[in-house]
Amino acid sequence: MELRTLRYFVTVAEELHFGRAATRLHMSQPPLSRAIKRLEAEVGGPLFVRSPAGVTLTPVGALLLDEARALLDRADRLRGRVTAAAGGATLTVGILGDGTDPGATRLAAAYRRSHPGVDIRVRDTDLTDPTCGLRAGLVDVALTRAPFDETVLTVRELRSDPVGAVLRADDPLARRDRLRLADLGGRHWFRFPRGTDPVWQSYWHGGEPREGPVVRVVQECLQAVLWNGTVGVAPLGHDLPAELAVVPLTDMAPSRVVAVWNEGDTNPLVHSFVGSATAAYRR
């Protein structure tokens, strides 16, 4: 059994839906389905009961899930220890958001000084995966924004930012000093693709179902506002084109900048990174 295939299996088992699992893994559904079928042939029995609504685990699948999670956890710990012992330590960091954030800039400088021999690899991600590939095993630690599903993850809050509604500058609401979510009722908002973490999607929708264009990256959000008058939500303090304005939302919870890593991960590079991040963002 390949570790990659086991990661695929665990993701499908957690989502209980091939489409959502493929979205989380940032891959298309057909190769994911083929990989699971090969795994089922290898173990000699079905791992899932399939239906139009999704899938459920068979008894064999439930047994494999426990074993696969334990094996993947051991493999991740072993990888960290071996690479560190070999002097070729690598830390892969997932980032969602503004790479020019002063906190991120201070963190990069501080971590380079304290870990000059560590190869830092950065994986930028889009708005459909708030864990930046952490659940899929693509990164060791993530700098992102909450809230999202925190199951089997450990989250450390670094900073809290108030948010506002992003509007076209010629929108009548853009002249207001502040807004409430009720002021935006009936307007089109940008949405994320089907299968995006529902906790994450609900937050950026102000806690209600919305209609509007589907976007994946920040620039698509801004273009949707500019071209279609769509409502967006963004942390305050970010530079925007002159054609756009952001008005504070008084009844929406702040957006939390967080460091996230896998629950139980003992990789010392991850924990030193989180410590450095905590210090860098508190300045």
Three-state secondary structure of the chain: CCHHHHHHHHHHHHHCCHHHHHHHHCCCHHHHHHHHHHHHHHHCCCCEEEECCEEEECHHHHHHHHHHHHHHHHHHHHHHHHHHHCCCCEEEEEECCCCCCHHHHHHHHHHHHHCCCCEEEEEECCCCCCCCCCCCCCCCEEEEEECCCCCCEEEEEEEEECEEEEEECCCHHHHCCCECHHHHCCCCECECCCCCCHHHHHHHCCCCCCCCCECCCHHHHHHHHHHHCCEEEEECCCCCCCCEEEEEECCCCCEEEEEEEECCCCCHHHHHHHHHHHHHHCC
Distance between CA atoms of 229 and 280, rounded to whole angstroms? 37
Q: Which residue has the higher pLDDT, 187 or 237?
A: 187
For 109-137, what is each residue's pLDDT tens digit? Answer: 988 888 887 889 998 888 989 999 998 88
Contact 97, 143 (CB under 8 A): yes
Residue-level pLDDT at 183: 96
Whether 20 has a pLDDT exceeding 90, the answer reads no
Residue-level pLDDT at 3: 85
Residue-level pLDDT at 119: 87
Query: Which of the four pLDDT bands, split at 50, 70 and 90, describes residue 195?
Result: confident
Chain centre to alpha carbon of residue 41: 32
Whether 202 has a pLDDT exceeding 80, the answer reads yes
All structural domains of the chain: 3-82 (1.10.10.10), 89-158+256-281 (3.40.190.10), 163-253 (3.40.190.10)
Whether 17 has a pLDDT exceeding 70, the answer reads yes
Hey, how many other C-beta atoms are within 10 angstroms of the C-beta on 239?
Answer: 6
For 54-111, what is each residue's pLDDT tens digit? Answer: 889 999 999 999 898 888 877 766 665 665 555 558 899 999 876 668 889 999 998 8
